[in-house]
Amino acid sequence: MAVQLMADISFEEGVVQLVPDLRAFGRSLTREHARADDLVQDTIVKALSNKDKFKEGTNLRAWLFTILRNTFYSGKRKQKWEVEDVDGVYTERLSVKPAQDGVMELSDFRKAFETLPSDQRESLMLVGAAGMSYDEAAEICGCAVGTVKSRVNRARARLADLLHMREDEPGLTDGATLAAMVSARTA
Amino acid sequence: MTGQDPDMNTDSEQRIEANLKKVYEESMNEPMSDQLANLVAQLREKAQPGNGGAADG
């Protein structure tokens, strides 16, 4: 959704229109619904207090996503919110059994997605779901375009492994096996 | 939304992307916390013409 502020759309209305996107991006970072809403709330408060720094006619969505991301990582450093899945806790909860008809449960996909490191989650979500270009995602993440591409590719490959989405990999995997797979990959 | 990622060319990548978009949309529509809902309501009110939003000029 492109929200460009024009004379007839206030800054506040633009922010309101983008709240669903902010919640989805926040959820992908925090992996928890309640924390995501707290993060969006903090983002909006910061955006309002820095309203004068937003340049009218530029991309409000990217600006807000950047604030949200910075707020997330700032909070992560202070509160040690996020613990990456180094010990396979998330993965141990994951038991993916691909249906015989090939239809995957969305909850299984979400669980697998949540085992990814935060840098891969954000890159994949921005490019794959939020409709951002690689350039926009790189600007939001504060890194090079090539870094975003690399993260997206690694995220896709890992999800394909975890969810048995490769054409030559049709079997079933329990949580223990998945944990071992992830452990081997992160070692 | 932009179009399909030109770097995405396999069936598994397309399936991942389709599920990713579903997860994104599901997250967009989850019930909102009371605090955030209140903040959004305040913003909506402020955005109304005559209530101090940028549209007032």
CB A151 within 8 A of CB A145: no
Q: Give ∠ CA A53-A55-A58 in degrees, rounded to 5.
A: 135
pTM score: 0.78
A108 and chain B in contact, CB less than 8 A: no
Question: What pLDDT score does A77 carry?
Answer: 80
The tokens for A42 are 């903090």
CB A180 within 8 A of CB A92: no
Q: Does the pLDDT value for residue B30 go beyond 90?
A: yes
The tokens for A92 are 């141990």
- Would you place residue A133 in the very low, low, confident or very high pLDDT band (cuts 50, 70, 90)? very high
Mean pLDDT for chain A overall: 82
Q: Which residue of A has its CA nearest to B2?
A: A131
Lowest mean pLDDT among A26-35, A131-140, A167-176: A167-176
- Chain A residues touching residue B54 (CB < 8 angstroms): 5, 10-12
A164: left (phi over 0), alpha (psi -120 to 50) or beta: left
Q: What mean pLDDT comes out for the span B39-43?
A: 95
Q: Does the pLDDT value for residue B57 go beyond 50?
A: no
A170 and chain B in contact, CB less than 8 A: no
Judge: A23–B55 Cβ closer than 8 Å, yes or no.
Answer: no
Judge: A37–B39 Cβ closer than 8 Å, yes or no.
Answer: no
A96 DSSP β-pair partners: A173
CB A96 within 8 A of CB A164: yes
Of residues A17 and B10, more confidently modeled: A17
Question: What pLDDT score does A92 carry?
Answer: 56
Question: What pLDDT score does A78 carry?
Answer: 75
Show contacts of A141-150: CB within 8 Å, 24+ apart.
A141/A69, A148/A123, A149/B7
